Structure 1
Amino acid sequence: MLSRIEKYKRKPLKKATIIAGALCLCIGLGGGVKTALADQDVQLLMANWFSKKQGESLNEIDAAINTERELLMGQLKGELQAEMKAAEEQLANFTATEKQKRIEALQAHAEEIRESMKINNSPQQAAILTNLDAILTQAKAQMDGQTAELKLIPVPIPVTPPTPSPVVVPEPTPESGDKPEPTLGTENGEQPQPAPSTEVSPVEVPALEPVVVDIYSVTDWFAMPNVQNVVVEEVTITGNVFSINSSFSDIIMNSKAREAMYSILRGIENHPQFHQIQNKSIEEMSRIAPSLFNEQVLYLLNKSLSTITI
């Protein structure tokens, strides 16, 4: 019986203990919750303060960097301009110096060439003499042919009489009592008459006028070449070659040009009136005798002469 009663007494005690424990637990838990909430407020406050300070620090650092950067950029800009000006002056001096060196080197080279320059005109002189001899020979031949056509009147040659030998008269030796002998050739003391003059008076020959032939009437300057299959094309003429604008005399002075012309204008050098047109050009002759110096003949001459350098 007692044990049951004790059991019934112990049960309320246990309940009170449980309630008290639960109450203490609640109080503890509530304090912990308050503490946790307070810790969270402190952390949020610290975070906000740090964020604010961080922003201020960054702005201050950024402003300081910008100020210093502008200052340094201004300094660098001035120094860069000074350096560029100095570099420009240095480059100008370098260019002038190097240019002068190159000019002096070129002048020295030109002086060396000038000192070593020796021109030998012997081949040209020999060629000119050969051409002159050929022209002289041709001129003589043409003159001979022209002389045969002139039909000159023979001029009589005056005959000079022989000079008579002087008569030597011996001087008489005077002797006493002798009479002087009469002079040779005298009779009865008469003086001899002078011998008649045998001098022949010169024959007056009329002056011969040179025969001038109208070159516009000449139709047989040369033997016409075969131009049947000749196709006239454009020929490029430079300033240092022969062409139809060259005169006959200039062409004759060059052996290659002379052979080229004679091969096309065959026999023109033997024509009696060739000396009258030697100072004319082939192009001028195309206006004087267009039937002979036609387009095909001029093309052949230009094509051949333009390959020969003056």
Structure 2
Amino acid sequence: MATDLQLPPYIDSVSSLAFHPTNPNLLVGGSWDRNVYLHDLTSPSNVRKVAVRGSVLDVAWAPESSTKVFVGGLAKEVRSVDFETNESQLIATHDEPVKCVEFSSELNAVISASWDSTVRISPLTTPGTSLILPVADKVYSLALSKSKVVVAMGGRQVWIYDIAALKEALEQGTEGKDVVVWQKRESSLKFMTRAVKAMPTDQGYTTTSIEGRVAVEFFDPSPEAQAKKYAFKCHRQVIEGVDTVYPVQGLAFNPVHGTFATGGGDCTVSIWDPLAKKRLRQFPKYPSPISALEFNCDGTKLAVAFSEQDEGGVAGEKNGNGVIIRECGDEVKPKAKA
């Protein structure tokens, strides 16, 4: 029987979650209340928090640290924040709010993406410098795999950069406008992209939209690989005879089993097997619309953030903001083929 652990409530919407890359019990959360929260699941009632300028839209762990994270948000800047010292350091600035922050170990750099239609790569070895990549539109979501950076933008555009090429550009001092985009694609989904995450296998990525759909895509441009891509409907309910559609805000891959979770404005979370094209499980409703999802590093826990102000939520579902940790069992494992 799976057990759920509810963390202390947040006072405002939870925008983002990030589990530590190697410690399965450390979770950081970003909130619209302008705080970053550090949860140790071995002592869940003891929560550390650090205030920053502006609401937090995304968080990512700094390398080889259990107390330092990178934060981006409405302050139009990326900062490192240390829960041990309460100190923060400026990493990069943008002209508009920073929607996405990731750390690339391959580049030893912070990658940030903004509504200013740029992606900035800021190496930790040379503070204050960034490779600025101009992109086609506002960035809504960003995903990293071992070899690729996937940028999901307005206008249903998805650009994919090759990390090896970015590394070469950093080493040679190439200007961002001269960096070649590995692939430029249009989303398979007809409506605005909400989230993108890369497969742990580095074979492709998954996107979600505001209109209750998910697409599974593959990097390999060959016709054989592209023939495998597909999309499907989810997070819909028939209410009084009307098919009601919800945005799919939460998206996370299990790093061990390769399955993925989606969370929607309908307050539900589902687990999917991308290769078998099947739903493995739908969990009972959460208190409010799902705003973020994240699996821990060993795939045994799923953090589910719910936020009552999240757009497209179920009418009347205003039951607070918070994070529930779900222990994962067989429901996140692909079904064995008969």
Q: When you count helix as a share of all residues, which structure comes out higher?
A: 1
Higher RCO, Cα 8 Å, sep 6+: 1
What range describes the TM-score normalised by the shorter chain of this pair? under 0.3
Higher strand proportion (structure 1 or 2): 2
**Given the two structures, how large is their TM-score scaled by the length of structure 1?**
0.15
TM-score after normalising by structure 2: 0.14
